Amino acid sequence: MRWPVNEIFHSLQGEGYHAGLPAIFIRFSGCNLCCEWCDTDHHSHRMMSDDEIVEQVLQWPDTPMVVLTGGEPALQPELGELIHSIAMCREQETYVCIETNGTRPLPAYGIDWVTLSPKTGVPGGDLQPVVLTQCEELKVVYTGQDLGQYDHIAAVHRYLQPCYVDDPVQRQANIDATVQAVFDNPGWQLSLQLHRILNIK
């Protein structure tokens, strides 16, 4: 089995509950949505085998957290097998997180933390319906949408994140609107993109 991998890198998790913790990121290429403000480069890739991916992950033995991201990682068939391969080849315990748009079911085993980031309401983000209804962390990029649409999703943590845009005036307006939405909607918490603030990957 080979997987289309855009990049594998080591950094700090920049968003949500684990923000600030070291993590190994495996970014898969390809997404089934086409959000208008998507700034993730997930189009280029090289096909990598289990062994090649594991070899890369083994570079960072002191980091237990492995984040599967994209693109949309849940599009990859046999993802559970890859997770198993990674966990079995490392001496230390591996803590597997996945960041998903929620439009595909996830492997039944091996994932410790699900970050669900639905894109419904975003132009290009509702091409396919969200099928996941529970997660550890619900992370919503706030663009003024009705937050009631997420009430049916069972989540331990609910985060609102400002939509990042290049224009600094609009970016600040998005931050202000998101902060106000957190004030107005109890149960939601602000998430910032720490990696952008720190100017790291």
Could you give the residue numbers annotated as active site? 25, 31, 35, 38-40, 99, 195
Q: What mask of x and - would describe binding to ligand SF4 in positions 93 to 112, judged by CB under 6 A?
A: --------x-----------
Q: Which helix (H) or strand (E) holds 101?
A: none
Taking CB under 6 A as the criterion, the residue among 72, 73, 116, 174 binding ligand SF4 is: 72
38 binds ligand SF4 (CB under 6 A): yes
Structure tokens at 168: 């600094």
Euclidean distance between CA atoms 114 and 102, whole angstroms: 10
Sheet containing 22-28, strands listed edge to edge, beginning at the edge strand earlier in sequence: 46-49, 2-12, 22-28, 65-69, 95-100, 113-116, 134-142, 154-162, 189-190
15 binds ligand SF4 (CB under 6 A): no
Q: What mask of x and - would describe binding to ligand SF4 in positions 109 to 148, judged by CB under 6 A?
A: ----------x-----x-----------------------
Total residues contacting ligand SF4 by CB under 6 A comes to 13
Taking CB under 6 A as the criterion, the residue among 1, 2, 20, 34 binding ligand SF4 is: 34
Task: Judge whether 72 and 30 are in contact, CB under 8 Å.
Answer: yes
Provide the pairing of β-strand 113-116 with 95-100: parallel
Euclidean distance between CA atoms 123 and 56, whole angstroms: 36
26 binds ligand SF4 (CB under 6 A): no
**CA 190 from centroid of its chain's CA atoms:** 16
Q: Which residue has the tokens 């998101």?
A: 178
**C-alpha pair distances (Å), 151 with each of 5, 141, 143:** 34, 15, 17
Taking CB under 6 A as the criterion, the residue among 4, 14, 70, 102 binding ligand SF4 is: 70
192 binds ligand SF4 (CB under 6 A): no
- Per CB under 6 A, the segment of 36-44, 128-136, 160-168, 191-199 that binds ligand SF4 is 36-44
Pick the closer one to ligand SF4 by CB: 72 or 136.
Answer: 72
Euclidean distance between CA atoms 152 and 81, whole angstroms: 30
Pick the closer one to ligand SF4 by CB: 125 or 162.
Answer: 125
Euclidean distance between CA atoms 75 and 108, whole angstroms: 14
165 binds ligand SF4 (CB under 6 A): no
> Which residues are at the interface with ligand SF4 (CB under 6 A)?
31, 33-35, 38, 40, 42, 70-72, 101, 119, 125
